[in-house]
């Protein structure tokens, strides 16, 4: 940043340049074609001996001179003033790169001025042939000005080989030079007729006026072929990324493109309309309407051309905020403020956080964004951010997946300063750095079922197969997971050699009374047909189970099973409880006698942090749930980035299950061919916005794992010395492992998400092993080699080979007890004393059978009536 920035706030964002440039460029194109219009009409008047027509040409030449030379000259100087003040670096670069071209253009411009003055002031005074020659000199000089300016202007969009050889001629005759010249020549001729309507409409001679209306209409319509052919050619030679920017990537480009497509035929039709015999008053009004149509049309084209350069002012050479690409390494090393010459802040600290943020906004953002202004107003773009975390994430992802904006330029502290400035000063949030407040949950008392000890005949063990079932309660709009906990149970008949009971018993489950009617708490059942194609009876889950019922026997696991129980974390008396309890009861089928009873946690959460970046806050008690505002913003973001129409569909009662397009093994959906699987898509996308975060911050921004949140699903004692990243990797590493598997499957969209991700705890991307979600996961034995204690706490990048190898699916070495039966669910293995609702909530069964919270079997006599002397379950299982 070698120049100061003129901070305009309301009238920033390029508004002054756009205001001046569009009007000037419209007039300057008229100035090119208008010379031919004058000379050809003058010759026609001489041939016909038509003094009325000749008089019109003389009057039109005065109008032409005043509009193009006086008004056009003023606006031309205005452009130089505005670009020099608003983007001096780009102005300086263009002058130095094309100094010979500018000099030549100014020579032709002087010839234009002189020849036009001679043409007007010698009308009826100079010999006809000589007078017309002067007119042709003007036209040729004006067209040569267009020729030269065209090369320089189009260089900014397509510098071509100049980027490598820095040759004047490579830059000037750039890839879009010739098609742009054809297009601009065509539109110059079209504008002759457009402005001709103005002078013709005020003629008081009906015959001549009507004849001129037809003549002007011909000038408008005949060059249309040249203009449209040039426009089509122009678009075809644009590089594919720029074409994509125009057609799909830039959020506001669609409106300008639609305007262009509507106003081209409108201009054509309006010109034909003027050929009708209309009252003069109507013609006067219509002529200015046609000028307005031409101005809007030309403005839309210029906005598209300017927008297609994003995020550059000179493509692949200088960003819109005047930063050269060659300066990026220095900026990344030293920081943006330290390398900027015109700033009052050089380093971010707590005392100057907002002041530094203001400087960063002025230097990096104000070139494109106004504050509350008519052009590129930043306020509606940031209004959803209620804390600096989400804004910081957005800045973190700039330019990575949507390249119409530059990357944030600077270090993490500078990015945080800018995020705080935008949220506090622009968005008006009092304390942008506060983030999500800590949540204190009231501990709830529980009753531990009694166990008769040595006199007991049975031991009943039950567990949730995953450590937490998170689901989205946003069913009217979309769903990424329906409610549905899957629970298992194993009934052990105690003895010298205990037996697993697999027949002759019924095992039932029932929730606490407050959780008996989930259909009264969420809207899932209203939209299940649209989301899942299932017409479910309210209260029945996707596998046909209610929140209370009888479990079926799973022969493969030698355990009883109830799949997808639709528990929700909302008690009937309101509130939020992510750890509802189930009572599990085993009865003899023949007699109905109760054989054993236990209780278990069925963890289920709606604390998904979507609102951190998508706004809308929490739906329930300010701590959980997804609001309509958050839901719609997620859909709108998906629509913008993927070209879908999910918002429209949701508002029409057609919510979407994310996994209906993105395959998911957990839900058993196949998705659409070519699309990333759900885990790779959601983690790969968000990883680009959540890079370089401390610890598990990125994880807890979405998952209900925040250490001071209302769920805190990592309840095991492991949470005291490790976090999510020890097993799953950092956000970047986790996403890379998922994307590499999809990349290997030939899904090219993985390349885009991988392009800007750098591993944190691996030497390179190549060092991270690809994996399939829900199949290849870290395993306990990565750290507890041979079931020993005191091993490493880094399980990332060593994956299970198949789903049968997963901890939650495995049995002991006798092929009898499931690992989870004795050790409990992932994220809550015993001792699981860190449940937010009470230290005993996850440890009911070890407390019931052993009187401690250690894994079942810590006291072998729980199941064995005689103390065993061999390690039957797994090595080291007799460890006390």
Q: Give the per-residue pLDDT at 790.
A: 66
Average pLDDT over every residue of 470-479: 97
Provide the residue count of the chain: 880
Q: Give the per-residue pLDDT at 301.
A: 87
User: What H or E segment, with its residue span, contains residue 109?
Assistant: helix 99-121
User: For residue 523, what are the domain limits?
Assistant: 438-660+694-729+800-880
- Are 358 and 249 members of one domain? no
User: Which tokens hold the place of 555?
Assistant: 């022969």
- Are 387 and 508 members of one domain? no
Average pLDDT over every residue of 593-598: 98
The backbone region for 410, taken as left when phi is positive above 0, alpha when psi lies in -120 to 50, beta otherwise, is: left
Q: Give the per-residue pLDDT at 527.
A: 97
The 10s digit of each residue's pLDDT in 197-247 is 999 999 999 999 999 999 999 999 999 889 999 999 999 999 888 888 787
- Are 417 and 537 members of one domain? no
> Could you tell me the pTM of the whole model?
0.91
Distance (Å, whole) CA 168 – CA 83:
22
The owner of tokens 């009883």 is 560
- Are 191 and 336 members of one domain? no
- Are 346 and 312 members of one domain? no
- Are 448 and 306 members of one domain? no
The 10s digit of each residue's pLDDT in 32-71 is 999 999 999 999 999 999 999 999 999 999 999 999 999 9
Contact 747, 674 (CB under 8 A): yes
Q: What backbone phi and psi angles, to 5 degrees, belong to 703?
A: -85, 155
In a domain, 741, yes or no: no
Is residue 791 over pLDDT 80? Answer: no
In a domain, 667, yes or no: no
Question: Residue 786: pLDDT band by 50, 70, 90 thresholds?
Answer: confident
- Which residue did the predictor score with more confidence, 858 or 791? 858
In a domain, 653, yes or no: yes
Q: How many domains does the chain have?
A: 3
In a domain, 735, yes or no: no
- Are 174 and 252 members of one domain? yes
The 10s digit of each residue's pLDDT in 702-751 is 999 999 999 999 999 999 999 999 999 999 999 999 999 999 999 999 99
CA triple 486-491-497, angle to 5 deg: 140
- Are 253 and 338 members of one domain? no
> Average pLDDT, whole number, for the chain?
94
- Are 284 and 383 members of one domain? no
- Are 276 and 127 members of one domain? yes
Distance (Å, whole) CA 372 – CA 377:
5
Average pLDDT over every residue of 605-609: 97
Task: Single out the residue in 426, 449, 479 at which a domain terminates.
Answer: 426
- Are 298 and 382 members of one domain? no
The 10s digit of each residue's pLDDT in 298-354 is 888 888 888 888 899 999 999 999 999 999 999 999 999 999 999 999 999 999 999
Q: Which of 208, 280, 264 is nearest to 50 (CA)?
A: 208
Q: Give the per-residue pLDDT at 879.
A: 63
- Are 473 and 549 members of one domain? yes
């Amino acid at each position: 940043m070698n120049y100061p920035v003129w901070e305009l706030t309301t009238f920033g964002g390029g508004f002054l340049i756009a205001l001046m440039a569009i009007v000037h460029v419209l007039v300057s194109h008229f100035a090119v074609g208008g010379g031919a219009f004058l000379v050809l009409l003058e010759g026609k008047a001489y041939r016909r001996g038509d003094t009325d027509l000749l008089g019109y040409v003389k009057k039109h030449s005065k109008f032409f001179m005043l509009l193009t030379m006086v008004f056009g000259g003023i606006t031309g100087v205005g452009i130089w003033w505005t670009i020099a003040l608003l983007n001096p670096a780009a102005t300086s670069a263009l002058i130095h790169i094309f100094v010979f071209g500018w000099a030549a253009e100014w020579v032709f411009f002087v010839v234009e001025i002189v020849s036009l003055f001679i043409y007007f002031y010698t009308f009826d005074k100079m010999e006809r042939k000589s007078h017309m020659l002067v007119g042709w000199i003007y036209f040729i000089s004006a067209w040569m000005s267009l020729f030269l300016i065209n090369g320089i202007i189009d260089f900014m969009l397509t510098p071509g080989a100049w980027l490598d050889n820095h040759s004047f001629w490579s830059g000037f005759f750039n890839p879009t030079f010739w098609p742009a010249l054809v297009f601009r020549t065509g539109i110059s001729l079209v504008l002759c007729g457009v402005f001709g309507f103005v002078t013709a409409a005020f003629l008081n001679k009906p015959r001549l006026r009507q004849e001129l209306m037809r003549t002007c209409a011909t000038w408008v319509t005949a060059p249309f072929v040249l203009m449209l052919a040039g426009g089509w050619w122009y678009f075809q030679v644009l590089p594919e990324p720029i074409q994509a920017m125009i057609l799909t990537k830039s959020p506001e480009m669609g409106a300008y493109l639609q305007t262009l497509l509507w106003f081209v035929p409108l201009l054509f039709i309006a010109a034909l309309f003027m050929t009708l015999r209309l009252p003069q008053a109507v013609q006067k009004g219509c002529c200015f309407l046609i000028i307005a149509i031409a101005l809007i049309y030309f403005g839309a084209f210029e906005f598209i051309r300017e927008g297609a350069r994003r995020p550059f002012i000179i493509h692949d050479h200088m960003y819109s905020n005047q930063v050269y690409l060659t300066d990026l390494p220095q900026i990344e090393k030293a920081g943006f403020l330290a390398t900027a010459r015109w700033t009052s802040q050089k380093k971010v600290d707590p005392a100057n956080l907002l002041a530094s943020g203001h400087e960063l906004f002025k230097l990096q953002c104000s070139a494109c964004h106004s504050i509350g202004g008519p052009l590129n107003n930043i306020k509606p773009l940031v209004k959803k951010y209620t804390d600096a975390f989400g804004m910081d994430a957005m800045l973190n992802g700039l330019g990575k997946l949507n390249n119409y904006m530059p990357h944030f330029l600077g270090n993490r502290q500078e990015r945080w300063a800018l995020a705080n400035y935008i949220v506090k000063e622009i968005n008006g949030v009092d304390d942008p750095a506060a983030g999500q407040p800590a949540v204190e949950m009231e501990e709830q008392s529980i009753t531990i079922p009694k166990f008769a000890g040595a006199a007991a005949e049975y031991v009943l063990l039950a567990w949730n197969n995953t450590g937490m079932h998170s689901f989205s309660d946003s069913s009217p709009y979309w769903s990424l997971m329906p409610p549905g906990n899957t629970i298992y149970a194993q009934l052990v008949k105690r003895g010298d050699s205990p037996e697993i009971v697999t027949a002759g018993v019924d095992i039932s489950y029932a929730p606490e009374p407050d959780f008996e009617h989930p259909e009264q708490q969420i809207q899932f059942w209203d939209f299940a047909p649209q989301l899942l194609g299932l017409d479910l009876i309210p209260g029945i889950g996707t596998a046909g189970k209610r929140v209370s019922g009888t479990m079926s026997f799973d022969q493969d696991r030698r355990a009883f099973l109830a799949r997808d129980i639709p528990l929700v974390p909302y008690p009937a008396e309101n509130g939020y409880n992510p750890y509802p309890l189930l009572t599990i009861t085993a009865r003899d089928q023949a007699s109905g006698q109760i054989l054993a009873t236990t209780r278990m946690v069925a963890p289920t959460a709606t604390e998904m942090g979507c609102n951190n970046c998508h706004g809308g806050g929490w739906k329930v008690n300010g701590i959980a749930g997804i609001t309509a505002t958050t839901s719609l913003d997620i859909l709108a973001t998906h629509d913008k980035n993927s070209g879908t129409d999910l918002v429209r569909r949701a508002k029409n009662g057609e919510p979407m299950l994310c996994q209906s397009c993105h395959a998911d093994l957990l839900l058993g959906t196949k998705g659409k061919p070519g699309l990333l699987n759900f885990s790779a898509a959601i983690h790969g996308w968000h990883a680009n916005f959540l890079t370089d975060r401390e610890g598990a911050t990125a994880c807890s921004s979405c998952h209900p794992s925040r250490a001071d949140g209302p769920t805190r699903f990592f309840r095991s004692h492991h949470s005291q010395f490790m976090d999510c990243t020890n097993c799953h990797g950092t956000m970047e590493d986790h996403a890379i492992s998922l994307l590499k598997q999809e990349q290997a499957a030939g899904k090219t969209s993985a390349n885009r998400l991988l392009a800007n991700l750098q591993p944190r705890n691996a030497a390179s991307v190549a060092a991270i092993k690809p994996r399939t979600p829900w199949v290849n996961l870290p395993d306990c034995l990565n750290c507890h080699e041979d079931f020993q204690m005191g091993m490493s706490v880094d399980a990332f990048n060593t994956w299970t080979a198949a789903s049968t190898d997963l901890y939650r699916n495995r049995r002991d070495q006798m092929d009898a007890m499931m690992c989870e039966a004795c050790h409990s669910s992932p994220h809550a293995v015993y001792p699981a004393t860190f449940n937010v609702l009470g230290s005993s909530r996850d440890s009911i069964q070890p407390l019931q059978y052993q009187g401690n919270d250690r894994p079942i079997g810590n006291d072998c006599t729980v199941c064995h009536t005689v103390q065993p002397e061999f390690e039957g379950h797994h090595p080291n299982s007799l460890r006390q």
